[in-house]
Structure 1
Amino acid sequence: MTLFGFKMPKMASLLVWVMIWEIIGRFELVMLFPPFTEVLAALGDVVTSRSFGAAMQITVQSYLGGLGLAIAIGIPLGFLMGLVPAADKMLNMWVNTFLSAPLSALVPVFMILFGLGTPTVIVTVFMFAVWIIVLDTRAGVLSISPSLMEMSRSFGASRAERFKMVLLAALPEILAGIRLGMIRGVKGVVIGQLLVSIIGVGALFQLYQQNFLMAHFWALVLILFTIALTLAELVAKLEKRVEYYAGVRS
């Protein structure tokens, strides 16, 4: 971003929003927004509390369970759709429907099916993350040149060798799907636990909201945002490392 001929750092826009937040809080223009400095001060209270450690343990277990399940199912399903046209025609509409659907409306159904506990949150994370992984994997497989596959067959490549070639060629898109799935998974774990309201960070959000501890509430939001962005950045760095393999598709 350039302002008056000077190149501004990427963090400049974030600092502007922080200043606006601080002003709104200081002048009590919106009661739900305490000053940003109070939110930063509350971070220590939130992180050092015993309830935070227990809540994060439950949340991380639910998140990793749902995300692992989404990766384990999403990547093979994306390969199936990319390699088998009949499967793509049958599944593509449903995958796009679930990707664009308001999945939070399905959480009460999951609660009926799986109960008021961790299984419901795991299924919610899975539903939020899996569809983007499927579509990005499919896009990676479809971007491989058919002539490349024909050449591999003509040179006598085994099925395992051809699968390895397809996997490496589609790896950038697969990692992009996993990165987006990780971000959507954080949304899923928070929404799932908020609606269940008795476990993990959902219980903490309810506690802070009911006692009007808005500084602690926003401090917890910042922690979750930081975790999501950090995970996404780590996968983004891995994406850059494997971009070389995209060249074998052409």
Structure 2
Amino acid sequence: MTLFGFRIPMMASLLVWAVVWEIVGRLDVIFLIPPMTEIIEAGIRLVQTGSWQNATLITLRSFALGMTLAIGVGVPLGILMGLFKSVDNLMSLWVNMFVSAPLSALVPILMILFGLGETTVVVTVFLFAVWIIVLDARAGVMQVPRSLFEMGRSYGAGPWTLFSKIILLSALPEILAGVRIGFIRGVKGVVIGQILVSILGYGELFELFSRNFEMASFWALTILLFAAAMILSAIVEHFETKIEYYAGARA
């Protein structure tokens, strides 16, 4: 962004919003919005507590397990849908239905099936993330030109070589894009799952802070979650830029 001839970093907009938030908080217009300085102070105190550290470990474990399952299922399924029309016809309806469905409404059903524990949160993360990963992996495979298959066969490439050297590498940009979006959706899933379960991880802390009207701590925890999602997205995006030439090679 350029203002009056000077290039301003995009992160500067966060500082502007922080100043606006501080002013609104100081005016005491809404008790739900404390000043930003109080939120920062609460965040510093929060990360030093054992309750936050234990909640973070539980949340990271649930998120990691759910995302591992989502990637392990979503990428192969998307590749199969892109390669085989029969698999695509069988699964595309269900995948598109779950992508557009309000998955939050399924969490109470998951609580009945899996109980009020970490398993429910892991399954919630999986359901939130897997479908977009499937769709992006499918799109990546379907964009691989058939001429590359013919070229590979003409040079004597076997099925595994075709898959590993042509299909997988050519589809890698879309696969990573799906994983990046899946990470963001997975963060949403772990938070929603823990909030509805309300007895473990960040869900327990959110319930505690909201019940006691500790809004500074509530917002501090929210900002920490947003920051974690942005960092995960930036890490995957960094890897995307490293393999962009594969997408160019398909043209």
TM-score (norm 1): 0.97
The alignment covers a number of residue pairs equal to 250
1:188 partnered with 2:186: no
Q: Which residue of 2 aligns with 1:247?
A: 248
Q: Which residue of 2 aligns with 1:139?
A: 139
Aligned ranges 1:113-132 → 2 under 5 Å: 113-132=113-132
Return the alpha-carbon distance in structure 2 between the equivalents of residues 248 and 166 of structure 1: 12
Percent identity at matched positions? 58
1:32 partnered with 2:32: yes
Q: Which residue of 2 aligns with 1:12?
A: 12
Q: Which residue of 1 aligns with 2:207?
A: 206
Q: What are the Cα deviations for residues 50-90 of structure 1, in whole angstroms up to 9, with x where unaligned?
A: 11111111111100000000000000010011001122122
192-201 or 222-231: bigger deviation: 222-231
Return the alpha-carbon distance in structure 2 between the equivalents of residues 46 and 4 of structure 1: 40
Cα distance, 1:6 vs structure 2? 3.5
Q: Find the residue that maps to 1:198 and give its secondary structure.
A: coil
Which AA in structure 2 matches 1:141?
Answer: V
Q: What are the Cα deviations for residues 108-152 of structure 1, in whole angstroms up to 9, with x where unaligned?
A: 000000000000000000000001100110111011001111121
1:220 partnered with 2:215: no
Change over 3 Å in CA distance of 1:248–1:3 after alignment to 2: closer
Which AA in structure 2 matches 1:195?
Answer: L
Q: What are the Cα deviations for residues 214-236 of structure 1, in whole angstroms up to 9, with x where unaligned?
A: 00001111111111111110110
1:72 partnered with 2:59: no
Q: Which residue of 2 aligns with 1:154?
A: 154
Return the alpha-carbon distance in structure 1 between the equivalents of residues 97 and 17 of structure 2: 35
TM-score (norm 2): 0.97
Return the alpha-carbon distance in structure 2 between the equivalents of residues 210 and 121 of structure 1: 22
Gaps of 5+ in 2: none
Aligned ranges 1:231-242 → 2 under 5 Å: 231-242=232-243
Q: Find the residue that maps to 1:130 and give its secondary structure.
A: helix
Q: Find the residue that maps to 1:56 and give its secondary structure.
A: helix
Return the alpha-carbon distance in structure 2 between the equivalents of residues 40 and 136 of structure 1: 37
Return the alpha-carbon distance in structure 1 between the equivalents of residues 17 and 96 of structure 2: 34
Gaps of 5+ in 1: none
